[in-house]
Chains A and B, each alone.
Chain A
């Protein structure tokens, strides 16, 4: 399965780049992520709980970052094992381009599922993966630039902002770095 999309984030490429490399950001952005540890150099260990159709599972996996050109592009690849539920694995090529009003983030995702996920979920997996990717990048956009703008663009309900009460307009990552 292959997916690609672009979105413009109202922040400079350097700030977007830093966010991609931050495990805390990734943890907040990956839907269902329970844990995320590691570093860009060593990769990240992640635990994600997700439900695909009838299959609910805890996926444990490792994400590696490669082909890194600072502020421009990188490749994320990883595999999550869900025990009896099977596995999911894939890669994303992410490129950043400075545009008027911020950074255009473009991604190309290839994903595969196996085991029970494929056996029971093959009909819904494409839609599910698209939704996951949308959620991730919406969360990411929120994290970088604050929730207001992205919310307007995103599908309803796809968003869970971790913004602290009282400062909803400012992304929490922005708070951290500014």
Chain B
């Protein structure tokens, strides 16, 4: 019988009650007395010199409090990048200035030129129309290939060119070249990983508040990591010491990575709150979100796979151009390098793996981590080229993968990471079973009767999650530690508040974290609440991204709870007149081993706060413990995915008929939430594969800035639930964290795009279109039709 509480149970998400009844408290729900509103005047050209900004007419308009331009931010820090990548020549990456408001130049459509603070949003918008800005337009740098050509227009005049870094990683060139020279077969593909916009349901919002009484600031903001924002903005942008700055990220309606980063608008609101002596609020419109939220992906890659005569993988070599956009967003530099290159071995024992990445500045919105961040790009390349190799060699794509699986753990890859555990054969076999691979031929025949082409796509994936060991990432250039922290505060009557550094913006922490503590203490989950998202309440934790919350912050919570148990046992031992080493905790009762003497959880907690009968000479009153946890390694969730598509040969339209994922997430605390995470991740992956594309024209104009032109996946793009099977029964527990968990938040978005494309190519081949080796995402009807018709 499945468990009904604690670890392994699936209680419904407690946070959903408030979300579904309109009782959530999002940043835009927060209004501070006397607040003013800011509207940003944004560039509508991609690249140009600002020759004049005249705010005089606007300043006198009704309701205007103050108008800010770049000049007001001279002497204020720029937005920092949190990760320094060192290039293949040992040189640091190029880090151009990223001012809060444009200074001298605009570098992408949406770059903020001026900010109007007014009594109302309408007045701010109206006044912004009266600001006169003259921009001498410069040629826009859009295409990465052209951006790197000699003599190309420079996005940043103070740099030599548009190259941020030229990075090489993994096996040395001589060994890699030798592997390719000895190969019996080499498969090469050129691929685009399409630029995406994260589109969380809640757009970004910031409210800055300044108190003259205490000379301190509060920023309410839509963030996945309030402590990171406090540190970056306080220390590097505005020079506010941490004890004078509180950052609150209340309910946040989805992040997907794009709310990790420190943005100009939140720094502006904090700065302006003092400058105007009024709280200042900004709420992004959806149009603004498209041109100011960091975008995702946007890689162009050539990948080569070398195989020996027995079809063993002997070498992988990649050459990628990664778009940084106009400025370096907070973690942008790490995405195409350490979050991407380290996964290029995939699930395979390829001995030589070399990754080459050029990061390029262009006149586009900055690009940074988006659900999966680098790992989807790695998976897509590798699993597409393997599929193509299988086709060229005429071998079964499942067998080819299976033959090359890593089977011994721990396994040190040629790209720096060590997989602690895994069982790729198990997830592959589970996928085959759930997909009913033997039945595919019959399903294809059924589709063909209807005049449709049916394709089967399979692939594997691996990701590095539970980000990250601080000493390792420090060596790799991270300017932050990536531990996390939790404080377990037990109250007098036994209820518990757990203050966590992780931030929940859809993940379900408020439900899952109490399951763990309740299991450890043997008390009811309803006695435990999670507190997150407020730097004045929680310990210094690094927030939520990279599928790290349970693996890292959850581990800190386990450690803190262990300290609670140790202290509580001392108190119980005192109450029971026994040695604390003889005390056992079970089902919320402390008992002396081998006796019927016991004392309840609530009696112990009350004694801690009403210490009348208490070992005061040995331990302090109270029951509150904090732990910081720094992981020893990444975690390595992995799995095998499959999907079946139907392609309409008349129109090129692709329909996903069936999708199966077999994931290994290690131990699972709440299976329902894990399944929900994977369902959502695959939906986003299907969105990338079939629908979503952020398009710029050659002048750097953003063409897809509304839902008329940016196609989000809808319910009818996703297979019916009966054919949308997510499985996590293969479990090899993580060997180095106390919960044995690996993380599940990104897997679906990492594993699914190549599955869909592999299936489409398979369908086209079944229809005789054997000349098609690849179609770039999104695999839209027009692209499929063009490929089928040789265009």
User: Contacts A84-B129, A115-B44, A116-B287 given: A123-B709 contact, CB under 8 Å?
Assistant: yes
Q: Which chain A residue has the least Cβ–Cβ distance from B132?
A: A81
Among B44, B287, B705, which residue has the most Cβ atoms of chain A within 10 A? B44
A34 within 8 A of B: no
B705 in contact with A84 (CB, 8 Å)? no
Does A37 touch B at the CB level, under 8 Å? Answer: no
A87 pairs with B44, CB closer than 8 A:
yes
Contact A118 B697, beta carbon cutoff 8 Å: yes
CB of B706 closer than 8 Å to a CB of A: yes
Within 8 A of A (CB), among B682-706: 697, 699, 701-706
Instruction: Answer whether residue B109 sits at the interface, using C-beta atoms and an 8 A cutoff.
Output: yes
For A120, the closest partner residue in chain B by CB is B706
Q: Which residues of B have CB within 8 Å of A119?
A: 109, 287, 290-291, 701-706, 709
A148 lies within 8 A of chain B by Cβ: no
A83 at the interface (CB under 8 A from B): yes
Give the residue of B44, B128, B129, B709 whose beta carbon is less than 8 angstroms from that of A114.
Answer: B44
B125 to A, closest residue via Cβ: A84
A113-B287 contact given A83-B129, A87-B44, A123-B709, CB 8 Å threshold:
no
Task: Report Cα–Cα, A120/B285, bound state, in Å.
Answer: 14
Chain A CB count within 10 A is highest, among B45, B125, B708, B709, for B708
Residue of A84, A115, A122 touching B697 (CB-CB under 8 A): A122
Interface string of B11-50 (1 = CB under 8 A from A): 0000000000000000000000000000000001100000
Closest to A84 in B: B129
27 contacts between A and B (CB under 8 A): A84-B125, A84-B128, A86-B44, A87-B45, A112-B699, A112-B701, A113-B701, A114-B44, A114-B109, A114-B701, A115-B701, A116-B44, A116-B287, A116-B705, A118-B702, A118-B703, A119-B290, A119-B701, A119-B702, A119-B704, A119-B705, A120-B287, A120-B705, A120-B706, A120-B709, A122-B703, A123-B709
Taking A119-B701, A119-B703 as given, write out 13 further A-B residue pairs in contact, using a Cβ cutoff of 8 Å, ordered by the A residue number: A84-B128, A112-B701, A113-B701, A114-B109, A114-B699, A115-B44, A116-B44, A116-B705, A118-B109, A119-B706, A119-B709, A120-B705, A123-B709
* Chain B residues within 8 Å of A, Cβ to Cβ: 44-45, 109, 125, 128-129, 287, 290-291, 697, 699, 701-706, 708-709
Q: Which residues of the partner chain B approach A122 to less than 8 Å between Cβ atoms?
A: 697, 701, 703-704, 709
Within 8 A of B (CB), among A71-87: 83-84, 86-87
Contact at A115–B709, with CB atoms within 8 Å? no
User: Given contacts A84-B129, A112-B699, are A123 and B708 in contact (CB under 8 A)?
Assistant: yes
Report whether B125 and A115 are in contact in the complex, using a CB–CB cutoff of 8 Å: no
Residues in A neighbouring B704, C-beta threshold 8 A: 119, 122
Shortest CB distance B672–A (Å): 39
Interface string of A107-142 (1 = CB under 8 A from B): 000001111101110110000000000000000000
A83 to B699, CA, bound (A): 19
Interface size classification for chain A: 10 to 19
Residues of A within 8 A of B45 (CB): 87, 114-115
Q: Looking across the interface, which residue of chain A has its beta carbon closest to that of B702?
A: A119
Closest B residue to A83 by CB, please name it.
Answer: B129
Shortest A8–chain B CB gap in Å is 34
Tell me what chain B mostly uses at the interface: helix, strand, loop, or mixed. Answer: loop
Of A87, A118, A120, which is in contact with the most chain B CB atoms at under 10 Å from its CB? A118
Q: Which residues of A contact B706 (CB under 8 A)?
A: 119-120
What residues of A have a CB within 8 angstroms of the CB of B708 in the complex? 120, 123
| Nearest CB of chain B from residue A4's CB, rounded to whole Å | 20
Question: Which residues of chain B are near A84, meaning CB under 8 Å?
Answer: 125, 128-129
Is B129's CB under 8 angstroms from A118's CB? no
CB nearest neighbor in A for B43: A115
Q: What is the CA–CA distance of A120 and B109 in the complex, to the nearest angstrom?
A: 13
Q: Which residue of B lies closest to A113 (CB)?
A: B701
Min CB distance B290 to A, Å, is 7
A47 to B699, CA, bound (A): 25
Smallest Cβ distance from A111 to chain B, in angstroms?
Answer: 11
Question: A114 vs B45: C-alpha distance in the bound complex, in angstroms?
Answer: 6
Quote the shortest CB–CB distance from B710 to chain A (angstroms).
10
Q: B243 to nearest A CB, angstroms?
A: 41
Cα–Cα distance between A95 and B297 once the two chains are bound (Å): 47
Contact with B along A55-84 (1 / 0, CB 8 A): 000000000000000000000000000011
Contacts of B699 in A (CB 8 A): 112, 114
The residue on A at minimum CB distance from B42 is: A115
Question: Min CB distance, A81 to chain B, in Å?
Answer: 9
* Residue of B whose beta carbon sits closest to that of A119: B705
Q: Nearest Cβ in chain A — how far from B696, in angstroms?
A: 9
A53 to chain B, nearest CB (A): 8
Give Cα A87–Cα B290 distance, bound, in whole angstroms.
18
Q: Which are the 7 A-B pairs with shortest beta-carbon distances? A: A115-B44, A119-B705, A118-B701, A122-B703, A83-B129, A86-B44, A114-B44
How many whole Å from B787's CB to the nearest CB in chain A?
23
CA distance A118 to B287 in the complex (A): 12
Q: Which residues of B contact A115 (CB under 8 A)?
A: 44-45, 109, 701
CA distance A122 to B706 in the complex (A): 11
Q: Which residues does chain A contribute within 8 Å of B290, judged by CB atoms?
A: 119
Closest residue of chain A to B701 (Cβ to Cβ) is A118
What is the bound-complex CA distance between A116 and B705, given in angstroms?
8
Min Cβ gap B83→A in Å is 31
Q: Which chain B residue lies CB-closest to A125? A: B703
**A120: chain B residues within 8 A (beta carbon):** 287, 705-706, 708-709
User: In the bound complex, what is the Cα–Cα distance between A113 and B697 (angstroms)?
Assistant: 10
A84 to B110, CA, bound (A): 11
Residue of B nearest to A58 (CB): B129
Nearest CB to that of B699 among chain A residues?
A: A112
Which A residues lie within 8 Å of B287 (CB)?
116, 119-120
> What's the Cα separation between A114 and B698 when bound, in Å?
11
Task: Give chain A nearest CB distance to B42 CB in angstroms.
Answer: 8
Most buried by B among A86, A87, A113, A119: A119
B121 → chain A closest CB, angstroms: 13
Please give me the residue from chain B that is nearest to A1 by CB atom.
B697
Which B residues are in CB contact (< 8 Å) with A86? 44
CB of A83, distance to nearest CB on chain B (Å):
5
* Chain A residues in 8 Å Cβ range of B291: 119
- The answer for the CA separation of A122 and B699 in the assembled complex, in Å, is 13
Q: Which residues of B contact A118 (CB under 8 A)?
A: 109, 697, 701-703
- Report chain A residues within 8 Å CB of B697: 118, 122
Please give me the residue from chain B that is nearest to A124 by CB atom.
Answer: B708
Q: Which A residues are in CB contact (< 8 Å) with B709?
A: 119-120, 122-123
CA distance A123 to B109 in the complex (A): 18
Nearest chain A residue, comparing its CB with the CB of B44: A115
Residues of A within 8 A of B128 (CB): 84
Q: How far apart are A54's CB and chain B's nearest CB, in angstroms?
A: 8
Bound Cα distance A122, B703 (Å): 6
What's the Cα separation between A112 and B706 when bound, in Å?
Answer: 19
Inter-chain CA distance A143–B567, complex, in Å, is: 95
Smallest CB separation, A116 vs chain B (Å): 7
Q: Whole-angstrom distance between the alpha carbons of A115 and B45 in the complex?
A: 7
